[in-house]
Amino acid sequence: MEVMEATVDVMDLIEQVARELSFRVEQVKVTMELLEAGNTIPFIARYRKEMTGELDEEQLRQIEERYRYIAGLYARRDEIIRLIDEQGKLTEELHQKLVKATKLQELEDLYLPYRPKRKTRASMAREKGLEPLAKIILESRETVNSEELAASFVNEEKNVKSIEEAIKGALDILAEELSEDADTRKWVRTYTWNQGILESKAVDADESTVYEMYYDYQESIRTMPSHRVLAVRRAEREGVLKLKIKVQEEEVYTLLRKWFPHENTYTLPIMQDSYKRLIAPSIDREIHAKMLADAEEKAIDIFKENLKHLLLQSPIAGKVVLGVDPAYRTGCKLAVVDDTGKLLDIDVIYPTKPNDRVEEAKEKVYALLEKYPISLIAIGNGTASRETEDFIAEVIQESDKDLYYVIVNEAGASVYSASPLAKEEFPELDAARRSAVSIARRLQDPLAELVKIDPKSVGVGQYQHDVNQKRLSESLTQVVESAVNYVGVDVNTASPSLLQYISGVSKTVAKNIVAEREKIGKYTNRKQLTKVPKLGAKTFEQCVGFLRIREGDNPLDKTPIHPESYPIAEQLLLKLGISVEELGLDQSKEKLKNVDVSKMALELNSGVPTLRDMIDSLLRPGRDPRESLPSPILRSDVLKAEDLETGMHLKGTVRNVVAFGAFVDIGLKNDGLVHISKLSNRFVRNPMDIVTVGDIVDVWVLSVDKIRDRVSLTMVQE
């Protein structure tokens, strides 16, 4: 038949995306037009709400990802149609099946019989002229007389030396054809996924490892939690476990019989050979891949959600902080930073073993407390953290100053301190002292400090080293971009590390923004950004709304209001009788709160969402959206494991959320675990429905394992 073009136009593609994701066609169309025009997702979500129908970032990403997938599906479909047609084997029926396929897997199943192959038993049998015999056997009913069927196919020239060889070759052809039937593969794949059991066995049952619970283990493939999938896959890679997928083979053969027009002597042998040699190994690989992909996606989702809440933790502004990077032999590094994060002083003390120079350490800390108005001490949670905490708590008790300390998650601090960025920032300091500075700054502004670190190194996920690193990196970068643009940055204090995550800003432009700032002293209005090298009109449009100027010429520059909407903002203020100098005052807030947004939007020829966001920005100009989030728990004394009793009520900070529960810092050396079953008095499918990183929660002690230094907690008062 002639080559039949199956390519659909863009509107067909858009309509399919809209249908699958339950969005309006116009929303998908506008979203893709905006993205194709070079607009970023944070920009579209914030400043093009009228056009998209107020789609948020997550919805916009869903549209983009699905659109790209379906576009790839159609491209692959057209390629397969061309390849099969070139072989002269494209029928109308096959063409229709390819056109109707909605998944890449369906396309590949349909293409499998036509895919160029290396030599197989079946292909060699075909070369020997045994395909007609295979067809005869397939069409035969009940008992088959082998000699009558195969005698004429014995041919010394074609290397078919006996009736048995002829029959065997024909059966090889039928086994391969059965294995390549698209419907058959779909049946077996679905059955294996729904009914299959993953079995794990120890390679050496006498060897003690962390995987012992999986030494003789079985679980349903379909319901196996992501963390267990990743655990057994890691154990398999390490050579500790062997994994096998088990199904009821008789059930599979019931499915396979549907492929045969009749049953005869050879039906069962063909099915058994086809399934065990060809279908099962292939489908098992697919199922293993799907289990891993699903588990990876779940782990990445957990990491993304944890990272988001970690980045958006409430900053502690306006405080001079003493950062402490704990250690044993090499001493605890101290760094004093002012309320802007500028390094004021650096030192090292040795209050822990093996040095135990406690009194000398106290004198150094007291000297810093006298020299600087320190009100908070940030202690890293790494090696020697709790011993250092004991020391700092003792210093606080003996001091007459109003002091508190906070245990800060220092994950990734060592990565930052050894990075080129840290060396550039503090060339005169060694890595350990840079780490102390980072710990102090994390308390002051978690977002500004954490963006300097590879998101994979912040330690708030599960099995992050076991998942697809490219996919993980892309996903986490999106989270950081979303968080930075949600908060916005002060263009006069932001580092290049922070600026590079702003909508439309590249690493080069971020450095140029800082270089221009150093040249002119500071930015006094947003228009000055147009003079930054390589920051063109499109980049300015994308980034300017997320860049704030706190003490500038125009008070609107410290708000998220985009300069393109300044004329509307100015008309609004004029109508309400508010001067820009009055923004944030009680009288202006009252007027703004009483605006009829729908009516005013018509008067100003503005979209309702834009005006609503504008009023919110004018009510609280310069506001950091993180201010409404819970602040870290400030401590002045130490909690010890021996202090704990079953049923004791404590306040804690959620440090990490995983598929099986949440880890909560209650002030002990190790975080306590709240199992998923103890997060709520109702059934919890996803721990993140209940808690997120940074939450301050009420917990009760369930049990204390002093030998393993573990504490079980509950959030359900019993």
According to DSSP, the residues that pair with 333 across neighbouring strands are: 325, 348
- The whole-angstrom separation of Cα 693 and Cα 686 is 14
pLDDT tier, 8 (very low <50, low <70, confident <90, very high otherwise): low
Dihedral over alpha carbons 686, 691, 694, 696 (to 10 degrees): -160
Tell me the CA distances in angstroms from 298 to 294, 308, 560, one per residue in order: 6, 15, 33
pLDDT digits (tens, 9 = 90+) for 491-545: 999 999 999 999 999 999 999 999 999 999 999 999 999 999 999 999 999 999 9
Tokens 């439309």 appear where?
504
How confident is residue 466, by pLDDT bands cut at 50, 70 and 90?
confident
Cβ contact 553:540 at 8 Å: no
Q: Which residues lie across from 198 on neighbouring strands?
A: 219, 245
Q: Angle at Cα 136 formed by Cα 135 and Cα 142, nearest 5°? A: 120
Percent of the chain at pLDDT > 90 equals: 75
Structure confidence at residue 469 as a pLDDT band (50, 70, 90): confident
Tally of CB atoms within 10 A around 253: 14
pLDDT tens sequence across 93-139: 999 999 999 899 999 999 999 998 889 999 999 999 999 999 999 99
pTM: 0.84
Cis before residue 354, ω within 30 degrees of 0? Answer: yes
- The pLDDT of residue 3: 46
Rounded average pLDDT over 548-566: 95
| Mean pLDDT for all residues in the chain | 92
3-state per-residue secondary structure call for 282-344: HHHHHHHHHHHHHHHHHHHHHHHHHHHHHHCCCCCCCCEEEEEECCCCCCEEEEEECCCCCEE
Burial class (CB in 10 A: 0-12, 13-18, 19+), 472: buried
Q: How far apart are CA 668 and CA 644, in angstroms?
A: 10
Query: In this model, does residue 461 exceed pLDDT 80?
Result: no
Rounded mean pLDDT of 590-597?
Answer: 95
Residue 390 near residue 362 (C-beta atoms within 8 A): no
Instruction: Let me know: does 241 contact 201? Beta carbons within 8 Å.
Output: yes
Q: Is 567 helix (H, G, I), strand (E, B) or coil?
A: helix
How confident is the model over 331-344, as a mean pLDDT?
95
| Structural domains in the chain plus CATH codes | 10-114 (1.10.10.650), 121-296 (1.10.3500.10), 320-444 (3.30.420.140), 514-628 (1.10.150.310), 641-714 (2.40.50.140)
Q: Which residues contact 312 (CB under 8 A, 6 or more apart)?
A: 446, 447, 483, 486, 487, 626, 629, 694
Quickly list H helices, 140-196. Answer: 146-150, 163-179, 182-195
Q: Which residue has the tokens 């939690």?
A: 225
Per-residue pLDDT, 1: 44
Residue 9 has pLDDT above 80, yes or no: no
Which phi and psi angles does 662 have, rounded to 5°? Answer: -140, 140
9 DSSP 8-state letter = P
For the stretch 375-390, pLDDT in tens is 999 999 888 988 999 9
- Could you give the CA distance from residue 374 to residue 381 in angstroms, rounded to a whole number? 20
**Residue 246 three-state SS:** strand
pLDDT computed for residue 6 by the predictor? 47
pLDDT at 2 over 60: no
Give the phi and the psi of residue 384 in degrees, each rounded to 5. Answer: 70, 15
Mean per-residue pLDDT for 473-480?
90
Strands 374-380 and 320-325 come out as parallel
If we measure between CA atoms, which residue out of 684, 716, 687, 688 comes closest to residue 700? 716
